[in-house]
Amino acid sequence: SKSSSCDENKSRMSTDSVDHETCGYTGAGNSECILAKVPVKIKSKKCDKVVKTYAFIDPGSSATFCTEALMRDLNLKGRKTEILLHTMGQEKPVHSNILSDLEICGLECEDYIDLPRVFTQKEIPVKQENIPQQKDLEKWPYLDQVKLPHLKAEIGVLIGANVHKAIEPWQ
Query: What does each C-alpha distance from 58 to 11, 51, 86 come to in angstroms?
Result: 32, 20, 14
| Residue 5: inside a domain | no
The domain spanning residue 140 has which CATH number?
2.40.70
What is the mean pLDDT of the segment spanning 57-86? 94
| Residue 88: inside a domain | yes
Number of domains into which the chain is organized: 1
| Residue 2: inside a domain | no
pLDDT of residue 170: 59
Three-state DSSP at 142 gives: helix
> In the predicted model, is pLDDT for residue 80 greater than 60?
yes
| Residue 11: inside a domain | no
pLDDT of residue 38: 86
Q: 121: domain range?
A: 18-167
| Residue 28: inside a domain | yes
| Residue 133: inside a domain | yes
> In the predicted model, is pLDDT for residue 1 greater than 50?
no
pTM reported for the whole predicted model = 0.75
pLDDT of residue 11: 32
| Residue 9: inside a domain | no
| Residue 118: inside a domain | yes
Among 30-44, 49-63, 117-131, name the one with the lowest average pLDDT: 30-44
What is the mean pLDDT of the segment spanning 117-126? 92
Residues 6+ apart with CB under 8 A from 84: 18, 19, 20, 21, 91, 92, 93
